[in-house]
Amino acid sequence: MKIIDSILAETAEIAAVRRDIHAHPELCFQEVRTADVVAKKLEAWGITIHRGMGTTGVVGIVHGRDGGACGRGVGLRADMDALPMQEFNRFSHASKHAGKMHACGHDGHTAMLLAAAHHLAQNRNFDGTVYLIFQPAEEGGGGAREMIKDGLFEKFHMEAVFGMHNWPGAPVGTFAVSAGPVMASSNEFRITIRGKGSHAAMPHNGIDPVPVACLMVQGFQNIISRNKKPVDAGVISVTMIHAGEATNVVPDFCKLQGTVRTFSLEVLDLIERRMKEVAEHTCTAFEARCEFEFNRNYPPTVNSAAEADFARQIMKDIVGADNVLAQEPTMGAEDFAYMLQAKPGAYCFISNGDGAHREMGHGEGPCTLHNPSYDFNDDLIPLGGTYWVQLATHWLGTKAKG
């Protein structure tokens, strides 16, 4: 691997920052301490900062040797927030706040971008500007959307924007990136079936919402198997069914909740429309009433082809072609999707290993994302930092102004 020497030399220092952030996790839009840590580091390195975008976001502005006069710019994004879950790890940098944990590696994403920031500030051997985007509230808060609403791309000219997420399982030293959809849209539905309660021994006196709900759940799966094209990915998962309080009472109502995931807005439009039709018509057929609610959270994360190929070439130069993999799309969601709707760019995976890096005192569970035994692999800091530096400097050095 071709790691930048100065970044490698400072790995321990940046890892200490990462562990400090891990020990003090903050949930979406509450990343005040984390933003302070990031801002103080950037300012100490002579990097101009802009704070408060998207509530707690930080943008570092690194001008090249021309002072940014050429007008070109590229954005590099890391997320900062933690998850509302209890950590099982007991090592020294485990969470100090009950019910909060960096179980997705955003502490590591922040650290990798800080490593790149320090090198870029010391070696401004490029023309244009690198924008370092430290984003809040990825875990359900839509922090990327809020930063954009606050003028992220109006205030800072970026030709393209890039993101990166650690990915457990594959060995450290491998990357994955591909053009097209790489993460799914995230959507939630809530359906209330209004019937009429009665004694369970005399169901003819009521309208039972429970069998209506059962038929509705089965009908939803026909949308996946019979309404959309087989080659188009889509998931409908009913994850909650609530009805009744006693075994001898037909309930008045039944509530269904769940999630829908797709890789395209066209498929999402189809699924939402058909779910509403199936829900309402099933209720009508059995004399029940339907209340249908469908909330769209994050759109699909779709990499633009040119930018994904550019990122792939940078990765090959660092780790070799054999260690740059095709990016298998996942039905997980990511709010970097909002940035890719606004700008060309690519979102890649950097492999986090199999968990052997975890120190004594880690939890009994696997080292997977959103798991209480997870921990970011600090060996990724110099590799991720090198990728960010090479990506930004080569982009500004070789791409035509767009």
Question: Which residues 6+ apart lie within 8 Å of 210 measured at CB?
Answer: 243, 244, 250, 251, 254
Same domain, 247 and 305: no
Same domain, 152 and 284: no
Same domain, 91 and 53: yes
Distance, in Å, from the CA atom of 106 to the CA atom of 114, rounded to the nearest integer, reads 12
Same domain, 314 and 346: yes
pLDDT at 402: 44
Q: What is the DSSP letter of 252?
A: S
Task: Indicate the number of domains in the chain.
Answer: 2
Same domain, 224 and 344: no
Question: Which residues 6+ apart lie within 8 Å of 293 measured at CB?
Answer: 189, 190, 191
Same domain, 41 and 180: yes
Helix (H, G, I), strand (E, B) or coil at 258: strand
Same domain, 62 and 160: yes
- Let me know: does 80 contact 34? Beta carbons within 8 Å: yes
> Cβ–Cβ contacts within 10 Å for residue 270, how many?
18
Domain, as residue range, for 212: 186-298
Question: Which residues 6+ apart lie within 8 Å of 70 measured at CB?
Answer: 127, 128, 401
Per-residue pLDDT of the chain (402 residues; tens, 9 = 90+): 999 999 999 999 999 999 999 999 999 999 999 999 999 999 999 999 999 999 999 999 999 999 999 999 999 999 999 999 999 999 999 999 999 999 999 999 999 999 999 999 999 999 999 999 999 999 999 999 999 999 999 999 999 999 999 999 999 999 999 999 999 999 999 999 999 999 999 999 999 999 999 999 999 999 999 999 999 999 999 999 999 999 999 999 999 999 999 999 999 999 999 999 999 999 999 999 999 999 999 999 999 999 999 999 999 999 999 999 999 999 999 999 999 999 999 999 999 999 999 999 999 999 999 999 999 999 999 999 999 999 999 999 985 544
pLDDT at 401: 45
Q: Which of 298, 314, 339 is the last residue of a domain?
A: 298
Distance, in Å, from the CA atom of 106 to the CA atom of 235, rounded to the nearest integer, reads 26
Q: Which of 298, 325, 359 is the last residue of a domain?
A: 298
Helix (H, G, I), strand (E, B) or coil at 239: strand
Distance, in Å, from the CA atom of 102 to the CA atom of 374, rounded to the nearest integer, reads 8
Q: Which of 248, 263, 298 is the last residue of a domain?
A: 298
- What is the total residue count of the chain? 402
Question: Which residues 6+ apart lie within 8 Å of 242 measured at CB?
Answer: 254, 255
Same domain, 113 and 150: yes
Residue 254: both structure tokens together: 């039944």
pLDDT at 400: 52
Domain CATH for 238:
3.30.70.360
Same domain, 176 and 304: yes
How many helices (H) and strands (E) are present in the chain, helices listed first? 11, 16
Same domain, 90 and 172: yes
> DSSP characters for 330-385?
BS---THHHHHHHS-EEEEEEE--SSTTPPTT--SS-S-TT-TT----TTHHHHHH
Domain CATH for 128:
3.40.630.10
Whose structure tokens read 């198997």?
Answer: 225
Same domain, 50 and 128: yes
Same domain, 329 and 246: no
Q: In this structure, what are the phi and psi dihedrals at residue 73, rounded to the nearest 5 degrees?
A: -160, 155
- Rounded to two decimals, what is the model's pTM? 0.95
Sign of CA dihedral 52, 53, 55, 57: negative
Q: What is the DSSP letter of 170?
A: S
- Let me know: does 241 contact 256? Beta carbons within 8 Å: yes
